[in-house]
Structure 1
Amino acid sequence: MANGGTWEATSLPVRPGLFINFRDAAIASIAGGTRGTVAVPIFTYTGGTAESGKFYTIETVSEGVELVGNANATPITRILQGGAKEALVYAVPAVGEGTATQQYANLRDAFSVQDFNVFVYPTTIDASEQTATKAWVESCREEGKHFIYVAGGDAASDADITAGNARSVLLKDPYIVNLVTGVVLADGTEVQSAEYTPFIAGLIAGTPINKSITYTEMPVANVTLRLKNSQVNTALISGSLVIIKDGNKVRIEQGVTTDSNAGERGKIRTTRAKQAVASDIPATARDSYIGKVDNNPNGQASLIGAIKGYLELMETDNVLMNPVVTLDPRYKSEGDKVFLAVAYTEVDSMERIFLTITV
């Protein structure tokens, strides 16, 4: 697991590691490693081979069916159909009556020491667990663990866009995506948003970090609630992920997180890039630098050059622009401490095109 996280000049971490001060001005994007793992807890797995309290990595639909049983495999199937490389499945231990809250707390704690890129529940959870999960996402981020959480709602909230938008406001966070739209499958089956979130999680995990999920066409026939243009605008401003029916196509309106502020939407693409920075640079440092390189001008130059080269490669792949890596002049790099200043510009997708035509 990553030994990193945020740091403060007045309270430096004790453990050896490379710590990133997670400031918006100094973070853009970086790629490296596989980002296709979706974590999902499965509460019912009778009829399968799964054992209570164990984790399993599933790469095919047939493996998922064998693991949890055909009747319980839909979330895993949707994750893989969405495009994820794999599903990290946890067979949640059963609990006694009245201890569901502890069950959810325990499963989140279990996932805290696993590696994945997106987290999702298989079905609806109540508002208290939604807010508890938000707190968990924030806590993990502070510990140096970065992932996206995809939330959704039940049929009642899907039928009332104001309820879905209220959930987005409740879950406001750059690492959270809130689906507010239910869908209709080709056979006419209606699927509430919470039960379709595994597909969205798989789509996010499977999309390259230099690409957006905006306007992605969904493999469904319709949505459970069609929205007016004004309602779509309000939803986006609220930070809601909306699926719309557009002619013969059903598509994601815009790949946004719940981190909406004064009309500016947080973007899934740039969030995943920030998460890559916070994960990949420390991983590279652990592998090649921490405990292996002298903390002198030559060693510092080597570390700076490696990180800058990594960022420049990502610049070539249109993940970021204008990377700069230097020693941070505010602090003295000596002893076993090295302070770096990293700056670059995020690259977003072209999603709003404004034309002025003069004739």
Structure 2
Amino acid sequence: MAGGEWEITDLPKLPGLYMNFKAAALAAVTTGDRGTVVVPYKAHWGKIGGFTELYRETDILNVFGSIEDSNGSTFYKTLRMCCLGGPKKILGYRLASSAAAKATLTLKDAENADKVTLSAKYEGERGNGFRATLAASLTDEGVYTLKLYEDTTLLKTYSFTTWQGLVDTVNADNSYVTAAKAAANTDLSGNTFKPTTSAAFSGGNSGITGVTAADYIAMLNVLEQETFNFLTLDGVTDASIQTSVASWVINMRKNGKKIMAIMGGSAADDTGDEAVANTIARSAGFNHEGIINVGVGVVLDDVSYCSAEVAPYVAGLIAGQKMTESTTYAATSFDDVTRRWRGGRSSEQEKAVTNGVFLFIYDGRIVKVLQGINTLITLRQKQNNAFKKIRSIRTMDAIDSDMQKTAEDNYIGKINNIVEGREALVGACKQYMEVCAQGGIIEKGTYDVYCDPTYHGANATITPEPDQVFLKWEAQITDVVEKIFSDFVCK
């Protein structure tokens, strides 16, 4: 359905719930599933241009058959980082160029004629490691077996009596390969097979080398129709790609799709002499509540990761938190940071906080988040400092998303735009806010929802169209304790 922001001078024409969030008029929410992260990656296996659901680190091995990145792949490092953050769900999206191809092997009959072509289920180099052995069964007369190996590991054993039986059996369980006629006119009724021993598949191409900015932009087009909460990248530091992602997210937010993007910089950006200036400049370039800029890399198990590579962790961390939690001072399992920003008053850490940089710090015991902030630096009209906090934006986004769904399911096109219908809508909104207040998301006793008296009621100064309803929301969104000031009086 349509949604997003609205202006009285340019009211939207499509049916939908349009909501403006203002510092003095915040809304309410019921907590829902806010924990889905979209993670693009490059890999040697898996679905291309579509989504693969993952929930935990063990899913990576189950889906990809490996936990190592090689030859340009980024799947393991990126997905593992996101899993470590603890999201509820990951939607993995594999990127590949048009050069991506499936590894194949053609089986022959006793007369050495091509009969059946086996193809790896997915495009990629992994398929080049498949091997097939075809032989007569040692125990059942007239039965043949095809054993599929990956290097020396047996993956599958198929039994059949005819070429058609081979095709049917393989395709019934297509975990690794599929089977088809070698040619359109190939006869599969026979049962004469040419034995093969450890015959290798070939021709698999992962399509990694040719991945460009256009492939990331194509992914964004697909994401417009997908439901998720956070978007990150697979260690990409290309400024043009990051700018495209940021612009897309900002546009989506204006049109009612309340998502956030988390990105970072290169190792050189994180650790060089100009690290602070470069990182702050990157945040200034984004300058939006929907974009989070990670400003420092981390060390885990003696391996250093740049801030762009640790951005998926931040996405997972935010996605895994309750609505009442904050990333501020959130403890991590990292061993160290790649650059320790100096603390204290008027320090590098203070510059990070005031200039929209999401920073990890080492406090002498653990690595933790300094403060849960986004890149919003310059407040726009009707914004206050709450818009700089990730927790506040998550609350506002949840309100918007929940109310859009509720309006679509229960009110738009279903109730009359009369006093009783508007009262029912207001009552539902207040119930949402009551739930939020009970859950600690908004302050109790601070909220209200009512029809905007500018458009409705005896004192209205503007007459709305018969299908329009204008609501006013008032509430105080809660925050966590981040600064404690005290006086110690010695007597």
Q: What TM-score, normalized by structure 1, do the two folds share? A: 0.93
CA distance in 2, matches of 1:6, 1:264: 20
Partner of 1:18: 17
Choose which of 208, 216, 220 in structure 2 pairs with 1:108: 220
Choose which of 444, 451, 454 in structure 2 pairs with 1:327: 451
Which structure has the larger Rg over C-alpha atoms? 2
CA distance in 2, matches of 1:352, 1:58: 37
1:337 aligns with 2:468: yes
Q: Secondary structure at the match of 1:345?
A: coil
Q: Offset at 1:101? A: 2.6
Tell me if the contact between 1:241 and 1:253 (Cα under 8 Å) persists in the aligned partners: yes
CA distance in 1, matches of 2:236, 2:28: 32
Q: Secondary structure at the match of 1:346?
A: coil
- The amino acid of 1:70's aligned partner reads I
Question: Any idea what the Cα deviations from partners look like across 1:62-114, whole Å, max 9, x if unmatched?
Answer: 32333344333232222222110110111224157887232221111111211
CA distance in 2, matches of 1:22, 1:98: 42
Tell me if the contact between 1:45 and 1:67 (Cα under 8 Å) persists in the aligned partners: no
Choose which of 353, 359, 363 in structure 2 pairs with 1:242: 359
- The amino acid of 1:147's aligned partner reads I
1:209 aligns with 2:316: no
- The amino acid of 2:11's aligned partner reads L
- The amino acid of 1:88's aligned partner reads L
Q: Offset at 1:316? A: 1.2
Choose which of 252, 255, 278 in structure 1 pairs with 2:372: 255
- The amino acid of 1:289's aligned partner reads Y
Q: Offset at 1:28? A: 4.8
Which of 1 and 2 has higher RCO (CA within 8 Å, sep 6+)? 1
CA distance in 2, matches of 1:346, 1:308: 15
Partner of 1:356: 487
- The amino acid of 1:140's aligned partner reads M
Question: Any idea what the Cα deviations from partners look like across 1:131-158, whole Å, max 9, x if unmatched?
Answer: 2221111110111001111111110011
1:299 aligns with 2:426: no
Tell me if the contact between 1:28 and 1:270 (Cα under 8 Å) persists in the aligned partners: no
Partner of 1:287: 409
1:1-359 map, 5 Å:
2-28=1-27, 30-42=29-41, 44-46=42-44, 48=45, 50-68=46-64, 69-71=66-68, 72-95=75-98, 100-159=212-271, 160-185=275-300, 187-229=301-343, 230-261=347-378, 266-321=388-443, 322-331=446-455, 332=463, 335-359=466-490
Range moving further from structure 2, 150-159 or 16-25: 16-25
Q: Secondary structure at the match of 1:39?
A: strand
Q: What residue ranges of structure 2 are gaps of 5+ in the alignment?
A: 69-74, 100-208, 456-462
CA distance in 1, matches of 2:395, 2:336: 31
Tell me if the contact between 2:32 and 2:398 (Cα under 8 Å) persists in the aligned partners: no
Aligned length: 354
CA distance in 1, matches of 2:246, 2:92: 20
Q: Secondary structure at the match of 2:231?
A: strand
CA RMSD, 1 decimal? 2.0
Q: Secondary structure at the match of 2:447?
A: strand
Tell me if the contact between 1:29 and 1:272 (Cα under 8 Å) persists in the aligned partners: no
Q: Offset at 1:334? A: 5.4
Q: What TM-score, normalized by structure 2, do the two folds share? A: 0.69
Range moving further from structure 2, 261-270 or 311-320: 261-270
- The amino acid of 2:282's aligned partner reads R
Q: Offset at 1:303? A: 0.6
Q: Which one has a larger percent strand, Structure 1 or Structure 2?
A: 2
Q: Offset at 1:22? A: 3.4
Range moving further from structure 2, 50-59 or 331-340: 331-340
CA distance in 1, matches of 2:37, 2:269: 25
